[in-house]
Amino acid sequence: MEKPGGPFTIRDIDIQAPERDEVLVKIAAAGICHTDLTTRHRWPAERCPMVFGHEGAGVVEAVGEAVTTVSPGDTVCLSYRSCGVCEQCAGGHTAYCDKAGALNVSGSRMDGSTCHSLEGAPVFGSYFGQSSFATYALAYESNTVTVPADLPPALAAPLGCSVQTGAGTVLNVLQPPPGTALAVFGAGSVGLSAVMAAVAEGCTVIAVEPVAARRDKALELGASAVVDPTAENDVAAIVREHTGGGTHYAVDTTGQSAVITQAITALRNRGSLALVGIGAQAEFNVMAVMTKGIRIHGVIEGEAVPSEFIPRLIGLYQRGQLPLERLITEFPLHDIEAAAQAAASGQVIKPVLSLG
């Protein structure tokens, strides 16, 4: 991306050899995430040109001398980066690493250097410790996870963020017992990953989504009912009707005040709401939360430790409980801007760039 909010363009640039703690990965596939699309419009001009991408999958090409957990030839999936030594990381909460901002969204390494250049001038990157909208990416041990060599790269790539976020919110944070009801507000790739995880846990799942094709997909994936918020005056009442008086759990993927209010209203007393949608601000009725005893969880990356959770997701996929292929539409790398536009418009659920 050469200017804030500008299109993704294909350029030949240089990438450095891996430093002592880095892993050079030849990218075979990279998912386009909602975070890539929103961040490019907020990215500062002084940090352009910039290489985005944070759902990479491929094969390790080379490693730095300090790297011990992966080797050249390993098939890997890339996720978010964490420092591994702060209070949150030491406690197993790597998604809330104290240095997450500097490690994932600064546009450079921790020392301020860039690993990309164009005709000698710096090109910013290191996005989520990878910048995987490229044929090669430099990653780190904390965000590089080995995966089975026979797992298609287009399926492995989204595990690192969107699938991890949706499924992790259900499995790691809400942990709904079988037989309970869970509503998902927004059935994009994150929301549908939450649907699949909740169905796998034996929950009654309701999906609230304005796009008809995505409602149909939720039903395909095991949702008990779907709600079109554009056709209903009282979405919360419809959800309560489907769940016998209110849902026990809810996941909001939209970050929108009106939708969060619907989710709160749809919950039964002492229900739990997980907020995973990116939004600058949201307003809701505090008294409604207090009087119903609602518990609200802010969730990043499904509170997953990638090296532990991604293998769990792969196990669900191999058992047929996480049919990722139903979400994915593949695009060649040179069609990256078309893929981004298709995602932004809702034309596709999960675009994945194929570099194979």
Tell me the C-alpha distance between 126 and 308, whole Å: 23
- 59-78 pLDDT, tens digit per residue, is 999 999 999 999 999 999 99
Residues of the chain with pLDDT below 50 are: none
Domains contained in the chain, CATH given: 14-160+323-354 (3.90.180.10), 163-300 (3.40.50.720)
Q: What is the pLDDT of residue 279?
A: 74
pLDDT of amino acid 93:
97
**pTM across the whole model:** 0.96
**What is the distance, to the nearest Å, from the Cα of residue 118 to the centroid of all Cα atoms in its chain?**
29
Q: What is the pLDDT of residue 121?
A: 96
- pLDDT, one tens digit per residue, over 129-177 is 999 999 999 999 999 999 999 999 999 999 999 999 999 999 999 999 9
The Cα–Cα gap between 12 and 5 comes to 20
Task: Output the average pLDDT for the chain.
Answer: 96
CA terminus-to-terminus distance, the chain: 22
- The angle at the Cα of 9, spanning 8 to 15, to the nearest 5 degrees, equals 100
Region for residue 255 given its phi and psi (left: phi exceeds 0; alpha: psi -120 to 50; beta: otherwise): left
Q: What pLDDT, on the 0 to 100 scale, is given for residue 341? A: 94
